[in-house]
Chains A and B, each alone.
Chain A
Amino acid sequence: MAEASKQDSDIVVDRGKWEWSELWKKEDWWAIWLGFAILVVGLVIFLPRPPADMHEKLAKAEATMAAEDARAPFHTIEWHSANDAMSGLRARSEPHGRTIAKWLEMPGRWTSSPMESFYLSESAAAERRAKAEPAFKEAQEAAKGALERAKQAQELAAEEAFRNEDLNEQAEAAIREWRQAREKERGSLRTRATVQAYNKIPYMIGIMIIFMLFFSIGARFMDIGSANLMKGFWFVFLLAVVAEMIGQQSTMREYGFGGLIWAILGGMLISNTVGVPNFLKPALQTEYYIKTGLVLLGAEILFSKIMLIGQAGVVVAWVVTPTVLILTYIFGQRVLKMESKTLNITVSADMSVCGVSAAIATAAACRAKKEELTIAVGMSMLFTAIMMIALPTFIVSVGMHPVLGGAWIGGTIDSTGAVVAAGAFLGEVGMFVAATVKMIQNILIGVIAFGVAVYWCARVDCTPGQQVSKMEIWYRFPKFVLGFIAASIIFSWMLVSMGSAGDVMIDQGVLRGFSRPIREWFFILAFASIGLSSNFREMAHHFKGGKPVILYVCGQTLNLILTLLVAYLMYFVVFPHVTESLMG
């Protein structure tokens, strides 16, 4: 009995019956109510305040690009400038967006002094600017010079009406050099040369109080109790802040060991050494935080992005990925004979789809144990760091085409940041392809989470041979998934119906400017809670025989082979014109 009750406390629980009181007593429903409340507030703040002349600017940029496409067989300087102007239009860059960003900001990057993560004085900022200025000015001059050379080369090609192949190639090469110089100028050099003084501490205290009150609304109606949650919330928040600070240390950041893993490790270190005091325990509401975060994540699953890179990208991201997921799961069950099906599917999804985010969504959908999620996330971060270095090094050393290399990286490396970093090593086109394939793959987790939730209710969470009725599936179904899917459908529809303005107002406004930073906070609070309520022994039990590592390595090997093969077929055999266009 005690064992069963302990097991229950470790998993996301829904019982096989329906009561209307679930609507205000269960964290699944509270995740939906709170998640949608945030999304509505975001819409109310951003939608009535578009950037000035947004529609005119978008129309002008689109017209310029169409005219340049008709004029030249490659992307001209004017085309790139119009594209940059379009990218620069963001609702969150408006004054209200900048104010919100200040409130929701997490600890920042630092190198040797952790305090710089929270506070930078005016004199220290001025010192940093002065130190970075010579290199930045040099980069600015280099970009200016490269632009002049590109203009001259383009003019020569234009004089021949873009019919001279040699001149076209010279112009293309000069434009490519200008883009590279511009990229360098806008990278870390600009960040260092334009740094301003900041003090994040008051905002962090403010946001902690807001989140505490926010979560205490649901806690009042559930068994937790508002006062109980408030008593320990500050500590969970503090651990989350410290974890994020460690993840922002420049070396950690470059390896990709972000705040989430430090939140888990820090929490585990505390709970397995000095222990967690009783007053903290009601604040360790992993499922409450994670499910609310997942409803917000649902809004970022924008189905209109699927066709971004044409059918080739869809095949690479949406055919290979589920194939690898299913085969890895079967391999885990039949060959490795893994005891825990939830660990098996969580590691399979984490490895084949998109790392941490897929692990979170899948673990919540199949009610995996906290320790299982921890194992999946830990392995993902470790292998991502290895692959982020090994894959681009290999691609460059064998001289692989950047489109193929980019698609391979996007389809196989787990986390988006690592994909972009590895893709950047292949150049601009490689990075663009890698980032886009990964983005399309990210969208897949909506379908995966829904599929796993249904499969678990109908096939796994029942005795062998038992027929499960539709109502029984509904009783057992993790209801927050409904909010997750609904948010995805509503925001996908809004994005499409708004046309080009959708990117400016929804993607670069409500989502990236409001719900995303809040969701990041919720996930790190959830991971701090996981760490504080996990124990090493339970983890060691799941690691028995190293089966999760074997599963990950075998699955990833299959993923690497299949993705490379399919990407080659798609971009060089079936749709070679897409590759030609991307290189233009």
Chain B
Amino acid sequence: MHAQKEYQGSHRGHGKLKGWIGLAAGVALVWVMASIVLPWGQTLPHIRPVMEAIADSNVDTGTYWYSQCENTAVAQMHIRNTLRNQ
């Protein structure tokens, strides 16, 4: 009984350690992506011009809805005023 408890305890401890190692590995993967893989991708000849244009325009490309992006309001005003007298 005592031996079984000891085994269960060490098994649980082993599982916990495995969990923390998994978490650390996941965080490390994100770090590698953010600091090595994606910046390298930005230097590729076909990607670089678009990425430079994005950086210059200061657009947050992660915005998923029109009201989160300032440019939509500017675009709306311009288009409406352009087509107002059509």
Contacts and interface: CB of A to CB of B under 8 A. Distances in A.
Interface of A: 65-66, 69, 75, 79, 83, 86-87, 183-184, 187-188, 191, 246-247, 249-260, 262, 265, 269-270, 272-275, 297, 300, 305, 308-310, 354-357, 388-389, 392-393, 414-418, 420-422, 424-425, 431-433, 435-436, 438-439, 442, 503, 507-508, 511-512, 516, 520, 577-578, 581-582, 584
B23 A270 contact: yes
A249 B67 contact: no
Interface in B8-23: 16, 19-20, 22-23
A258 B65 CA distance: 12
Most chain B CB inside 10 Å of its own CB: which residue of A183, A275, A431: A431
Nearest to A507: B73
Nearest to B77: A87
Contacts of A511: 67
Contacts of B51: 254, 389
A269 B26 contact: yes
B68 to A, nearest CB: 7
A15 B81 CA distance: 49
Contacts of A425: 49-50, 53
Contacts of A255: 38, 41, 61
Most chain B CB inside 10 Å of its own CB: which residue of A69, A265, A389: A389
Contact of A260 (B22, B53, B64, B84): B64
Contacts of A257: 62
Contacts of A418: 61
A12 to B, nearest CB: 20
B69 A436 contact: no
Sort A-B residue pairs by CB-CB distance and give the 3 closest, nearest first. A258-B62, A417-B63, A256-B61
Contact of A252 (B16, B34, B47, B54): B34
A221 B16 CA distance: 36
A357 B64 contact: yes
A112 to B, nearest CB: 9
Contact of B72 (A254, A275, A435, A578): A435
A578 B51 CA distance: 31
A578 B83 contact: yes
Contacts of A253: 60-62
B55 interface: yes
A260 B68 CA distance: 14
Interface string B25-57: 011001000110011011000110111011111
Given A274-B19, A439-B66, A417 B77 contact: no
B75 A512 contact: no
B85 interface: yes
B47 A416 contact: no
9 contacts: A254-B55, A272-B22, A356-B64, A415-B61, A416-B65, A416-B66, A424-B54, A435-B71, A439-B75
A246 B27 CA distance: 11
B82 A417 contact: no
Most chain B CB inside 10 Å of its own CB: which residue of A251, A308, A310: A251
Instruction: Give the size range of B's interface with the partner.
Output: 35 or more
Contact of A86 (B60, B61, B65, B77): B77
B77 A83 contact: yes
A581 B82 contact: yes
Interface of B: 16, 19-20, 22-23, 26-27, 30, 34-35, 38-39, 41-42, 46-47, 49-51, 53-69, 71-86
A69 B78 CA distance: 13
Given A274-B23, A420-B72, A435 B66 contact: yes
B75 A415 contact: no
A424 B65 contact: no
Contacts of B72: 416, 420, 435-436, 438-439
B69 A435 contact: yes
Contact of A273 (B19, B39, B47, B85): B19
Given A253-B61, A300-B67, A424-B59, A274 B79 contact: no
Most chain A CB inside 10 Å of its own CB: which residue of B30, B73, B77: B77
Contact of B62 (A184, A415, A432, A439): A415
A414 B50 CA distance: 17
Given A310-B83, A424-B59, A251 B30 contact: no
B71 A65 contact: no
Nearest to B80: A308
Contacts of B16: 274
Contact of B57 (A262, A274, A297, A424): A424
A436 to B, nearest CB: 5
Given A83-B77, A272-B22, A436-B76, A247 B54 contact: no
B60 to A, nearest CB: 5
A508 B59 contact: no
Given A356-B65, A511-B67, 13 more contacts: A87-B77, A253-B61, A258-B64, A269-B26, A308-B80, A309-B79, A393-B49, A416-B68, A417-B64, A417-B69, A421-B57, A435-B76, A584-B82
Contact of A416 (B22, B23, B69, B84): B69
A582 B35 CA distance: 41
Contacts of A309: 79, 83
A420 B34 contact: no
B36 to A, nearest CB: 10
A357 B57 contact: no
B63 A415 contact: yes
B84 to A, nearest CB: 7
A432 B46 contact: no
